[in-house]
Amino acid sequence: MNAQQIIDIENKHTSGTYAKQPLVIVRGKGALLFDANGEEYLDCSSGHGVANLGHAHPKVAEAIYKQANTLITLFESFPNDQRATLMEKITSLVDGLDRVFFCNSGTEAVEAALKFSRISTGRKNVVAAMRAFHGRTFGSLSATFNKKYREGFEPLVPGFSHVAYNNIEALDKAVTNETAAVILEMVQGEGGVYPANAEYVQAARRICDERGALFIVDEIQTGFGRTGKMFAIQHFGVTPDLLTCAKSLAGGVPMGAVLIGHNVKNLTPGVHGSTFGGNPLACAAAVAALTAIEEEDLAGQAAAKGKYLMDKLKKIESPNIREVRGMGLMIGIEMKQKVVPYIRELQDLHIIALNAGMTVVRLLPPLVITYQQIDHLVDVLSEVLTKNLVSEEN
């Protein structure tokens, strides 16, 4: 099939829930994607933060091939060598979180964490942050703030409230003896790439301890080296009770997980489950991915490359840029105009980027991006972001 045939078939049969791009992507390698015509694109979206290891990483591909020829699926009631290896590996990454529940996506991980909080504490209420994004299923959506995701689906799960991010006083007032959990992102990705500050995260831990609530940290986008540490919470010297992760966990194979601390109780057989969660294929891919992240020091690379990229971005002289912010290789460029025209212009110049809200260009390149590729990215951004682009959406 040629590119237009592929586009026509997808347009005919798609659910309609995705805004389709006019690119047919058929191959990837490292930080690059290639379309059906062989054109090369620098991927600064990583599939919304999935491809931390880049595309087609050989160790992940080899692990998938080997495991697919051995055993693909197995319910967690039956122990398995790949799952046991992954359990041991992933629980070694954060002190104090020595149990794990496996699932298939980020929103499933959040759903599980919310259920675990309620069954553990016997309470119903959950405090989340304004601008937060935690997923699209009903519990995760209830913790998500933006009304554009929520409208049309009410009534959502009761008991959820939202308070200002990085505001200790607001959080202190919101958390009571009826609160089951506080759920926070360490960097609000979809909400505009806003990092938490250390005092706020440490206060959240203290407030939860004082009120008997559990502290859930959502690391679905920030996990596995993205911010310059294996997990973003490690920048703050705090251990949560529950840590949700997914996206890049298995190198591109769908997988989610909840890391579980000692304060979480009452997790007995039948409380929760997942047919595909912890299947041997995904576990083998995850073991390979985590091993590669450690061996290649991708967290260290993200810290160094993120600083390099951030410093260069801050030197772009453009009256259109309001602020550059982020952590590691998770960077937001806040503009004074809506950014959809800029995202389109970048794509025309073979740079794939994301928006984060209406006015922020979000950069989530694979952690294996080279310095030469970063320099090219900055050159293109310097050209595009100095323009005054307008469209019907502005």
Which pTM was predicted? 0.96
> Which letter does DSSP use for residue 234 in this model?
G
| Cα separation, 206 vs 119, whole angstroms | 21
Given its phi and psi angles, is residue 166 left (phi above 0), alpha (psi -120 to 50 degrees) or beta?
A: left
What per-residue confidence (pLDDT) applies to 390? Answer: 66
| Cα separation, 381 vs 386, whole angstroms | 8
pLDDT > 90 in the chain, percent: 98
What per-residue confidence (pLDDT) applies to 272? Answer: 98
Position 66 confidence tier, pLDDT thresholds 50, 70, 90? very high
What per-residue confidence (pLDDT) applies to 388? Answer: 83
Using DSSP's 3-state secondary structure scheme, residue 59 falls into helix
Superfamily holding 3-56+298-385: Aspartate Aminotransferase, domain 1 (3.90.1150.10)
Which residues lie closer than 8 Å to 210 by C-beta, 6 or more apart? none
- Listed by start position, the domains of the chain span 3-56+298-385, 71-295
Question: Is 50 in contact with 370 (CB distance < 8 Å)?
Answer: no
What per-residue confidence (pLDDT) applies to 391? Answer: 54
User: How is residue 300 written in tokens?
Assistant: 């260290």
Question: What does the pLDDT average to over 147-167?
Answer: 96
**Mean pLDDT over all residues of the chain?**
97
Architecture of domain 71-295: 3-Layer(aba) Sandwich (3.40)
Question: Is 362 in contact with 331 (CB distance < 8 Å)?
Answer: yes
What per-residue confidence (pLDDT) applies to 222? Answer: 98
Q: What is the per-residue DSSP string for 142-177?
A: HH---HHHHTTS-S--TTEEEE-TT-HHHHHHH--T
Summarize pLDDT for 284-306 with one digit per residue, the tens: 999 999 999 999 999 999 999 99
pLDDT(36) > 50:
yes
pLDDT(394) > 60:
no
Question: Is 248 in contact with 226 (CB distance < 8 Å)?
Answer: yes
Position 389 confidence tier, pLDDT thresholds 50, 70, 90? confident
Summarize pLDDT for 74-113 with one digit per residue, the tens: 999 999 999 999 999 999 999 999 999 999 999 999 999 9
Least confident of 15-24, 66-75, 201-210, 221-230: 15-24
Helix (H) or strand (E) holding 33: strand 32-35
Position 392 confidence tier, pLDDT thresholds 50, 70, 90? very low
Question: Is 135 in contact with 244 (CB distance < 8 Å)?
Answer: no
Which residue in 142, 138, 117, 110 sits closest to 223, CA to CA?
A: 110
pLDDT > 70 in the chain, percent: 99
Question: Is 292 in contact with 60 (CB distance < 8 Å)?
Answer: yes
